[in-house]
């Protein structure tokens, strides 16, 4: 159970971390009174300015619970304004404790915050970041760690600098095999549908918990990546998806079957985004073989559509065959070159 000492130490530590100590060195908290019956506490700061800075800590997670930070009921705003600043400093480093507004912080207000689960425990933070940044630079990134050991719990959060990358990364990474684990990558917002009970706690608390653990653990450099045969790099999506194991030579030669497959591919592929074109190379009327025969190319209006298509179609059975879906270079496709090397 919390006591005056643990609360005092926690808020003093947090105030130091965010740069909220304006009265000089030492602890900002001078006194704590707990009302256990009504489940609240008074935290007294050594200055008016530091008390105002502490108001920015509303929602901070303490011992697994998001704390509401409010003024006392007898607080007089007019009188307080004559004594010092009544609002938190805009220069506080709230990101140090996971309270940066919007997408980087915990809570439900960040629509572009991504939950990343199923991470192999031996992955270092830098390796996970490298994987995620295959799709663009990150604005925020944290991996949840065990309080006692400092080891990764196998999940975390990230936010991309460009919100348009969010759905692309989710579609491309979700379901990706990493060693003996499978990634779960999705928007962290509840609007994306039901989540598992254990993830619910993560979405509410973990981002702030991570930041506080960083302060306490002072984790140093990442150890070398152990040999596991796992490839971390993931190719950035293009707007073109290349499918193999979809059509046979006999189907390509038969006009009726060819048109049926073309229509089937348009109908199915259109479910994943704005489909621009479907190209299925076939032998020339003279029977001449051309590059790309045996492949199906799907062109989407944006990379979000292609990423969804690749994630959905890869591994699916089509005509008894297991489909392989990869990205294809846009410049090659637009030039009618269907024989280039694809990227996973």
Residue with tokens 């900002």: 28
What gap in Å lies between CA 47 and CA 310, rounded to an integer?
A: 57
pTM of this structure: 0.42
Mean pLDDT over 191-200 rounds to 42
Q: Does residue 198 sit in the same domain as residue 116? A: yes
Local structure of 244: helix, strand or coil: strand
**CATH number assigned to the domain comprising residue 80:** 3.30.70.330
In a domain, residue 232? The reply is no
Q: Around 97, how many Cα atoms within 13 Å sit in the side-chain half-sphere?
A: 24
- Residue 69 · residue 58 · CB < 8 Å: yes
The pLDDT, as a whole number, for residue 67 is 79
Looking at the structure of the chain, the number of domains it has is 3
**Residue 207's pLDDT band (cuts 50, 70, 90):** very low
In a domain, residue 342? The reply is no
Residue 80 clears pLDDT 50, i.e. is over it:
yes
In a domain, residue 267? The reply is yes
Q: Does residue 59 sit in the same domain as residue 154? A: no
Q: Does residue 256 sit in the same domain as residue 284? A: yes
Q: Over the chain, what is the mean pLDDT?
A: 77
Q: Does residue 106 sit in the same domain as residue 212? A: yes
* Structure tokens that stand for 104 in this block: 């980087």
Mean pLDDT over 157-164 rounds to 83
In a domain, residue 270? The reply is yes
The pLDDT, as a whole number, for residue 290 is 84
What domain range is 293 assigned to? 240-334
In a domain, residue 53? The reply is yes
What gap in Å lies between CA 172 and CA 307, rounded to an integer?
A: 5
């Amino acid at each position: 159970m919390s006591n005056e000492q643990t609360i005092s130490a926690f808020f003093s530590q947090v105030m130091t971390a965010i740069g909220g100590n304006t009265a000089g060195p030492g602890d900002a908290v001078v006194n704590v009174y707990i009302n256990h019956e009504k489940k609240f506490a008074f935290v007294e700061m050594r200055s008016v300015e530091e008390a105002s800075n502490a108001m920015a800590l509303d929602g901070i997670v303490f011992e697994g619970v998001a704390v509401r930070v409010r003024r006392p009921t007898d607080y007089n705003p007019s009188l307080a304004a004559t004594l010092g600043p009544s609002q938190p400093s805009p220069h506080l480093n709230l990101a140090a404790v996971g309270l940066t507004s919007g997408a980087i912080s915990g809570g439900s207000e960040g629509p572009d915050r991504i939950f990343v689960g199923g991470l192999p425990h031996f992955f270092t933070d830098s390796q996970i970041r490298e994987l995620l940044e295959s799709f663009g630079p990150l604005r925020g990134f944290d991996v949840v760690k065990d309080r006692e050991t400092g080891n990764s719990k196998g999940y975390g959060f990230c936010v991309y600098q460009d919100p348009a990358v969010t759905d692309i990364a989710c579609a491309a990474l979700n379901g990706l095999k990493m060693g003996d684990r499978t990634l779960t990558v999705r928007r962290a917002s509840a609007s994306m549908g039901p989540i598992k009970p254990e993830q619910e706690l993560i979405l509410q608390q973990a981002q702030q918990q991570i930041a506080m653990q960083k302060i306490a653990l002072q984790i140093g450099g990442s150890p070398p990546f152990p040999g596991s045969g796992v490839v971390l790099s993931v190719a950035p999506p293009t707007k073109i998806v290349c499918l193999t194991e979809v059509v046979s030579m006999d189907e390509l030669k038969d006009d009726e079957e060819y048109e049926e497959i073309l229509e089937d591919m348009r109908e199915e592929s259109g479910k994943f985004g704005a489909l621009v074109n479907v190209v299925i190379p076939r032998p020339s009327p003279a029977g001449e073989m051309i590059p790309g025969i045996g492949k199906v190319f799907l062109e989407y209006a944006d990379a979000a559509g292609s990423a969804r298509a690749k994630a959905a179609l890869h591994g699916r059975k089509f005509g008894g065959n297991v489909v392989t879906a990869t990205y294809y270079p846009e410049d090659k496709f637009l030039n009618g070159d269907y024989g280039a090397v694809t990227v996973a």
